[in-house]
A and B are shown apart, each in its own frame.
Chain A
């Protein structure tokens, strides 16, 4: 069908345009710091991508941070996804009284600018001994992921006919069983999407890591890397760009792998 061909060609063209900045990122990260020239940004040269990445890793002691960031980006979104789904379930399926306002309360958590949360949180964490700990970071990352999760799941669950819930109740199921065995499995694609988006967001976090952690083994990876760049002299641009690519590899790979998952699609119950 011509429409298929037209659509595909439009998408391929724009896809390439979209990737142009990535092209720039890669070829400039590939240049050796000594030979770099900012007036030739489109022209590829050099083969220093790997050595720049190794250099960046060494300069900022990335190993420990990578482990920490992995923990944060896996545990926190996981908890947040389940907690958010629970909120959505209570409001939609269990038809909680004043459900809209409970929902607004939870969603409202994302309304407040993050920068203002930093200093009071630092103060509180310090008092409670949570400063510079893995637990402290996990708690805060989970809390900021819940509003988005609750929002998407609440809306997703409204697409499931209530008769599904009623039928399960008639069958004698408990609310927990209905949640875990009926609603969650139906929402897998949404759950995975939320998980990936939040995991990426947490992986790329700079501010929270900067304020609430200090030691190399607790700091997330982007915070550690940011120490490389400074007006008082630091790593050269190609090294910093190489570091940027290095740090982005896991998240970009994650997106590529889960693409297959989304293509399987999902048939929902009656509307």
Chain B
């Protein structure tokens, strides 16, 4: 009875959808050096900031970005890897330094940027120290998208309440933690997913940077007695209740604000998250470089994370991507980025919202500190994945570290054996 009455709207719907399908397509592509560049990134939440730079880039080099954000890390990587051989090979995309980048370079999938680096170092737009993270076989690939130092953020109101000053030695940090615990405040942050490595990295690098370095080259085993000893220190702290409840999935910025813990070992990009929950730098929160565990070390290690911005060598937009990459490293772009995100800039000539971050950048580049690569980039991917799981499991059920460490070592053995 009402079949015919249904057909008309159905037919028009189908027609409309076909029409829309015909009109829809992706962004423009061009092999020139001006136009709209398709950019994919796993930092999906930073899309508004990336887009905000378009007014400046359009003026300077007549290139603007069309950004697509992906929030799931694993799917993003699988997608990008798959796209290299298709027409969707990205003109510009973000990635990770370390083993992940090496994999792409080995397969000749990313464009060489050595000429750009040479020029920008000569112009003082980037420090030569950063170059090594982007160098493989004597050539450079990709340009730095960002840089972040891993430090200790703390809730200033809690510190003030219990009259705690920022520690300058490890012993002071330990006594601060004990004091907080005595007053019913959990000292440190931990989680069982993704960012499970910071404390391991702080403890190991802070005890002996050579030991930390040895792990990433396979010369030191995870089951090495020195590593076990360090893990037992962590275990002891867990038993004393110095870490928050492992099962929490609440956003860490939220937790710091609520006082669920007093301190969190995190990267300098965290400042923007804290502002997002309404905390102000200086009055509500502060940060300090974590003193070395081993007080006899001459330089304090500071883990640094730098993420690259890359151009796929098979992309139709390769020239466009390279033009944007070059512009990105210069002061106009970096100052605009500093205003948008408030991160530490890698370009010493750029201005940034939070002046103290800029000072941090110059301080850690000086003699008393030593930059070490963040564990996330230092550990080869197959080992990293197991390690992240095992550290998370350890945090959830703290106990004898040996079984957790042997699982990581098994993955390490397999990996290094395959490299011979």
Contacts and interface: CB of A to CB of B under 8 A. Distances in A.
A126 B44 contact: no
A184 B86 contact: no
Contacts of B88: 126, 131, 214
B24 A133 contact: yes
Interface string B217-251: 00000000000000000000000000000000011
Contact of B1 (A37, A131, A185, A234): A185
A127 B86 contact: yes
A230 B269 CA distance: 13
Interface centre among A123, A215, A227 (most CB of B within 10 A): A227
B45 A134 contact: no
A227 B86 contact: no
A133 B195 contact: no
Interface string B41-56: 0111111100000000
Contact of B276 (A33, A35, A74, A184): A33
B254 A214 contact: no
A231 interface: yes
Contacts of A123: 82, 85-86
A37 B254 CA distance: 7
Interface in A154-186: 180-181, 184-185
A8 interface: no
B86 A122 contact: yes
A233 B86 contact: no
Contact of A236 (B16, B270, B276): B276
A228 interface: yes
Interface string A38-77: 1100000000000000000001000000000001001100
Contacts of B14: 75
Given A210-B72, A234-B44, A33 B278 contact: yes
B24 A134 contact: yes
Interface string A120-163: 00110011000111110010000000000000000000000000
A90 to B, nearest CB: 19
Contact of B48 (A59, A138, A232): A59
Contact of B254 (A38, A75, A132): A38
B26 interface: yes
B25 A132 contact: yes
A200 interface: no
B78 interface: yes
B278 A138 contact: no
A86 to B, nearest CB: 15
Contacts of A122: 79, 82-83, 86
A78 B10 contact: yes
A201 interface: no
A214 B273 CA distance: 26
B254 A36 contact: yes
B272 interface: yes
A180 B251 CA distance: 54
Nearest to A231: B194
A233 B272 contact: yes
Given A123-B86, A133-B24, A39 B258 contact: yes
B47 A227 contact: yes
Contact of A138 (B17, B42, B70, B83): B17
Interface string B178-204: 000000000000000011000000000
B276 A210 contact: no
A231 B52 CA distance: 21
B40 interface: yes
A253 B260 CA distance: 38
B75 interface: yes
A214 B89 CA distance: 13
Contacts of A214: 26, 38, 40, 68, 88
Interface in A192-241: 207, 210-211, 214-218, 226-237
Nearest to A217: B24
B367 interface: no
Nearest to B51: A61
A153 to B, nearest CB: 16
Nearest to B2: A185
Nearest to A218: B24
A134 B21 CA distance: 5
A24 interface: no
Interface in B87-110: 87-88
B276 A75 contact: no
A23 to B, nearest CB: 19
A230 B1 CA distance: 52
A74 to B, nearest CB: 6
A3 interface: no
A228 B20 contact: no
A35 to B, nearest CB: 8
Given A34-B278, A210-B75, A236 B17 contact: no
A250 to B, nearest CB: 16
A227 B276 contact: no
A267 to B, nearest CB: 15
14 contacts: A35-B278, A39-B258, A71-B16, A75-B17, A78-B13, A122-B82, A214-B40, A227-B69, A228-B44, A228-B71, A232-B43, A233-B272, A236-B254, A236-B276
Given A132-B26, A232-B43, 12 more contacts: A36-B254, A37-B258, A38-B250, A39-B258, A71-B17, A71-B20, A122-B83, A123-B82, A126-B86, A127-B86, A214-B88, A237-B254
Interface of A: 33-39, 59, 71, 74-75, 78, 119, 122-123, 126-127, 131-135, 138, 180-181, 184-185, 207, 210-211, 214-218, 226-237
